[in-house]
Structure 1
Amino acid sequence: MPTGVVLRDARRQLFDAAERILLQDGPSALTSRAVTTEAGCAKGVLHRHFTDFDDFLAELVLDRGARIETQAKALCDAAGTGTVADNLTGALTELFGSAAVAIVALVTFRDELLTRLRRTTPAGIPLLAEATAMCASYLTAERGLGRIAAGADVGTLAPTLIGAGHLLFADRKGTPPEAAAVGEVVTAILAGVAR
């Protein structure tokens, strides 16, 4: 690998490279050498920005979790527009159409990574926990607008949506489900509570 090559945003390049490896080959293929090779940089670049490879992976997961926070704001801003099912279908498709499924597999694959992430996410699986909070916030907003029944159990609906969405997209090598298939699942979960 060439040295002395300036990387504009080394962290982002390394994170994006790791994501590509995860999507193509899965968590077992993710090594520091594979990441730096994919990013087109010397191995030392990773260690200049992170204390070790598990620190890099933890920061990758936290970075991708922050993206969910951005998506959550957009979803909550959509409350009262369109249909609840369509808004959630779009959110789940965006969430799980990314590398989220592969990152969840990575978190469950590497014990040390999960241990490190417990410092910031004491319960649940990182990314899935943020995604569940996203759905819960949105459903709460829609309940406040009367588009979800006043007695709807948001605390049960949100993880049900995330679990079902994760299962729909979990086949890493297969074709992602079409929006209509995701919409059918969302509609079934909301049956009886959507107005």
Structure 2
Amino acid sequence: MPTGVHLRDARQQLFDAAERILLRDGPNGLTSRAVTDEAACAKGVLHRHFADFDAFLTELVIDRAAQLEAHARALRDSVGTGTVADNLTTALTSLFGPVPVAIIPLITFRDELRARLRQAMPGGGIAILSQVAAAVSAYLTEERAAGRIAADADIDSLTLSLVGGGHLLFADRDPGPPTTETVHQLVTTALADVLHRRPR
């Protein structure tokens, strides 16, 4: 990589390289040497732009977490349309895509990364999961206000059930992610009571 490459380009190339390693080799394969090798750049490039490897990982997580906002926005925009179960099935499948699911164990197993994320963003210690939970909670709250789920629905408990269950479904991708039908079954089971009691 030329030494004069623009900072933003270098950062993005390093982030993309780290993402490929995460998806291919998992968190254990993610080292500074692996990232620079994958990005086909000199080892010093990463340390030129980041104080240390945990600083790099913190920025990586923040960058990838920001990309979830488009999926959260799509979920908010679906309020009052389609069915609540279908909307949440689509949202969980998007929010728990391959990259977010690969990042979650990275955060779990690196204490210093969690500490830095807590300082850098709200809910950063469990980044990705906290954002998925915020998106689902906001959606359920709006659907409750719209009368599509029961007025006394416990949004916090529903959110925990959907996000926790969704994470468990998507965490093991061998031989592959869960089917749409499996995710839909989780959602309909979690929502059965509040949808059944919804005023008609």
The runs of 5 or more residues in structure 2 that have no matched partner are none
User: Quick one: distance in 2 between partners of 1:156 and 1:124?
Assistant: 20
Q: 1:190 Cα shift?
A: 0.6
Residue in structure 1 matched with residue 94 of structure 2 by the alignment: 94
The amino acid across from 1:31 in the alignment is T
User: Quick one: distance in 2 between partners of 1:19 and 1:132?
Assistant: 23
Q: 1:6 Cα shift?
A: 3.4
Q: 1:46 Cα shift?
A: 1.4
Counterparts of 1:155-194 in structure 2, within 5 Å, are 155-194=156-195
Q: 1:130 Cα shift?
A: 0.9
Residue in structure 1 matched with residue 16 of structure 2 by the alignment: 16
CA shift digits 1:34-91 (9 cap, x unpaired): 1111122222221222111100101111112212223212210111111111111111
Residue in structure 2 matched with residue 60 of structure 1 by the alignment: 60
Mean alpha-carbon deviation: is it higher for 42-51 or for 80-89?
42-51
User: Quick one: distance in 2 between partners of 1:51 and 1:123?
Assistant: 19
Residue in structure 2 matched with residue 132 of structure 1 by the alignment: 133
User: Quick one: distance in 1 between partners of 2:98 and 2:4?
Assistant: 29
Call closer, same or farther: CA 1:148–1:183 in 2, change over 3 Å. same
Mean alpha-carbon deviation: is it higher for 36-45 or for 127-136?
36-45
3-state SS, counterpart of residue 152 of structure 1 = coil
Matched, 1:79 2:59: no
Q: 1:25 Cα shift?
A: 0.8
User: Quick one: distance in 1 between partners of 2:98 and 2:109?
Assistant: 19
Q: 1:124 Cα shift?
A: 5.5
User: Quick one: distance in 2 between partners of 1:91 and 1:72?
Assistant: 8
RMSD over equivalenced CA pairs, Å: 1.8
Instruction: Confirm or deny: 8 A CA contact 2:58 2:117 kept in the other structure.
Output: yes
Instruction: Confirm or deny: 8 A CA contact 1:89 1:183 kept in the other structure.
Output: yes
- Give the aligned length: 194
The amino acid across from 2:166 in the alignment is G
Instruction: Confirm or deny: 8 A CA contact 2:19 2:99 kept in the other structure.
Output: yes
The percentage of counterpart residues that share the same residue type is: 61
Q: 1:100 Cα shift?
A: 1.2
User: Quick one: distance in 1 between partners of 2:42 and 2:186?
Assistant: 45
Q: 1:174 Cα shift?
A: 2.7
The amino acid across from 1:161 in the alignment is L
CA shift digits 1:124-146 (9 cap, x unpaired): 61110111000000111111111
Call closer, same or farther: CA 1:103–1:44 in 2, change over 3 Å. same
CA shift digits 1:129-165 (9 cap, x unpaired): 1110000001111111111111111111112111101
User: Quick one: distance in 2 between partners of 1:124 and 1:6?
Assistant: 32
